[in-house]
Structure formats: structure tokens, C-alpha cells
Amino acid sequence: MKSKNKFKILFASVFVLTNLYVSAQISGVGKQFSVEKKSWIDDSTKCEITQWTTTGKNWHLYFNIESFIDNKNVIIFSDRTGKTNLFRMSLTDGIMTQMTDETDLKQGVWHNPVQKTLWYFNNDTLKALNTTTFKHTVLFAFGKLNPESFAVTCDGKWMVYSLNKNPGFTEKNSTGPFALFKMNLLTKEIIQISPDYGFSISHVQTNPVDPNLISFCWQHQYREGGEGIVGNTPIRIWWNNLEGTAGGPVVPQELGLHRTHEFWFPNGKYIGFSARYLYGPNKGKQFVGYTSIDGKTLRMFPANVGAAHSQMFSDEKHWVSDLFNGSNLVLFTFEENQIAETKVLFRHDSSWGGQPSHPHPHFSPDGKYILFSTDKTGTPQVYTVKVNL
């Protein structure tokens, strides 16, 4: 009997170890992929361009979410394994290392390089990923009432998200209302922090230096279709505090002006945006601009950028935009509160056929590169342009 029990224990141990080994082999986390990069000097702009990816579809994070882990490593999405997952890509040697192995990874993520953490959803479940160790932590399963858009406060304590409290009665419409909520990432306590709104809330962004400030947008729906009523919104940019005691529109828009693609400046003092007049006496005029949440500081600078994605560098002097005079990546240099220099960096020729194809430019923390994506070659790929600010 004793020998039989020993055999059973030994067999069970081997079975467990074998399964652990198989599981480790199945998981793609940590797998590295060979270098695909190629560099050249652009004939028109004389800038050094590097295309980093070629296999499958590849793109980096949305323009208002930090894509850089540090000066030399960025986070990208890729479907090179047959499923879309997150990868760390080295700007030193071009090696890509798989960070997730998920079955239903959502594009909406949030990254805080100071916390060395990236938060993401697989299906309805929020997870945290350590970008150094690749350790994954399951945080919360939301079930049917999934967040529409989310961010995490700069201190890493709270997830703030928008939610449709009463999802649709038809495929393309919803009764709403929408509201902002916060969830304590330690205790998982959930509290509504905004009034109920009769419009779709998106682009939730936490302030990079003040955990008490949140911006969000009244999301317009494209005319070719979408949930709810399509068309432009009368007031795009809104704010809320974390306690839920204050908030509202950020500088009500004047007649005919449509702002889009808002983002926090690195100093946390201002919200940048692109803007254009869709009707009225200024119809056709286009701008980049920024505002404080109380509207006491508001600046707009004429620039032919359309509904561009933009980012301000930490020196508060250089501003990149991706829709200048058509399909051009452009760098504005500000001096004495005006655009002193306009430099076209690259004609990206994006098809704009879905988010992965959009350039969504990002400055590297040291200002040496601007990261962007485009489907110029036929599929979305990741690029940099050297700027050496």
C-alpha cells in the first residue's frame, strides 16, 4: 500500500510539473521577435525615418496615453502571433518582447511609466501589467456594465471611467445616461463622481501631476454611423474632480467652433486641442490651442491641422501634430506665445482607416524621437522620426 501511495504521489507530482511546463510553453509572455527595422533619410524633409515593424499589423498607444516606458523602450500592439497583444519594443536594437498573451485584448489601455504599470482589459476584466517584470495582476471583472473609457490617477490609486448606465435598446442607440465613476484599485470600492449626463462620455484622461483632476469629452458620433445621434457636439471638453464635488464644461465653445483630440500638457496646467470652425463667419479656419479648466487662460494659434492628434513636449515649446496640410507630420516651435517655426517632418499618407492607421505622435521623454504609426505600406506599422530637441 505504501509503495502504491508513493507511486500515486510521484505520478501526481509529475503530472502537475508537466502541466506547469506546458502552460509555460503555451504562454507567449517573454517571447522575443527578431529585428525588422530599416532607416533612411527622407528626400523631402531630410529627417531620419525608421520603420520598426513589418510583420502583421503593428501600432502604438493612443496619442493621449504614454507609449514610452523610458527613453529607449515603447509599448506597441501587434497581431503578429495571430492575436492582438501588447509588446515592448526596444529603440536601441529593435527587439520586440511579448508582454501579454490574451484572447480578447481591448485597445483602450492606460500607462503610467512612473508606476511602471500598464492597465488593460481582456474582455470584461481589468488587469495590471508591470512593464519591467511582465507580472500580471487580475484586478476586477466588470461583467455586463463595461467601462467605455478609463484612466488611472497619477498616484496609481484610482481608476476613473465612463459608463453607460443603461445600455442600448437597439443595436445603434442607447437610452443612457452616461456618468463618471471611480474605483479604488486596492479595495475595489466604486463611487459615481459625476451627474448623469444625456450624452456619450469618452476620452477620459487623468491629470499627469494632480490626481484630483480628470478631463473627458462629450463624444461626437461620426455621420456614417455610430451609437446614438450622429453629428458634432456643442461643447466638447469637460472636467471633473475626483471627489465628485466640482466639474463641468471647459470654456464653452463659441458658435461654429468644434474642438477635438484634447490632451493634458505635461505640466498638468493646460488642456491642448485642435480646433476648426465648421460654420459661421470663421468657417474653415483651423487652430491648435490650449486652455486652463477655468478658462482664464485660452490661446488658439492658426494652423492648418484639421482634427489632428497633437502632443506638447515637456519643454512647453515644441508641439507635434499629424494632420498638417493633409497627411503630414509637423513640428511647431513656440516662442513668446506664437508659432515661430513650422517644420514638416514626414508625409505619412495614412489612410485614416481605423485607429491603428492613425499617426498618434508621441515625443520620447528625452526629445530625441517622435513615435508614430501609419499604414503607408498597406498595413499599420510603427515608425520614428529623429528630432533631437
The grid coordinates listed for 1 are 500500500
Helix (H/G/I), strand (E/B), else coil: 118: strand
Which cell numbers in the block locate residue 241? 474632480
Cell of 212: 484630483
SS3 category, 14? helix
C-alpha Rg value of the chain to the nearest Å:
23
What residues contact 8, with CB distance under 8 A and at least 6 apart? none
What is the three-class DSSP state of 17? helix
Confidence (pLDDT) at 6: 44
- Residues near 359 by Cβ (< 8 Å), separated by ≥ 6? 309, 322, 329, 348, 350, 372, 373, 374
Q: In the beta sheet, which residues pair with residue 180?
A: 162
pLDDT, position 231: 78
Question: What span, in angstroms and rounded, lies between the C-alpha atoms of 116 and 98?
Answer: 16
Measured distance CA(242)–CA(158) in Å, rounded: 9
Q: Counting Cβ atoms within 10 Å, is residue 171 exposed (0-12), middle (13-18) or buried (19+)?
A: exposed
The grid coordinates of residue 121 equal: 482589459
Q: Is 143 left (phi over 0), alpha (psi -120 to 50) or beta?
A: left
| DSSP 8-state symbol, 47 | -
The pTM assigned to this predicted structure is 0.90
d(CA 164, CA 211): 24
Which region, left, alpha or beta, applies to residue 21 given φ > 0 means left and ψ of -120 to 50 means alpha?
A: alpha
Domain ranges for the chain: 39-91+310-389, 144-308
Query: Cβ–Cβ contacts within 10 Å for residue 342, how many?
Result: 14
CA distance 233 to 374: 28
- What does the alpha-carbon distance between residue 143 and residue 23 come to, in Å, rounded to a whole number? 26
| Residue-level pLDDT at 297 | 94
| pLDDT recorded at residue 1 | 43
CATH class name, domain 144-308: mainly beta
Q: Show the low-confidence residues of the chain (pLDDT under 50).
A: 1-26
**Contact criterion met (CB below 8 Å) for 311 and 319:** yes
Closest CA to 345 of 39, 64, 37, 49: 49
Would you state the pLDDT for residue 225?
A: 57
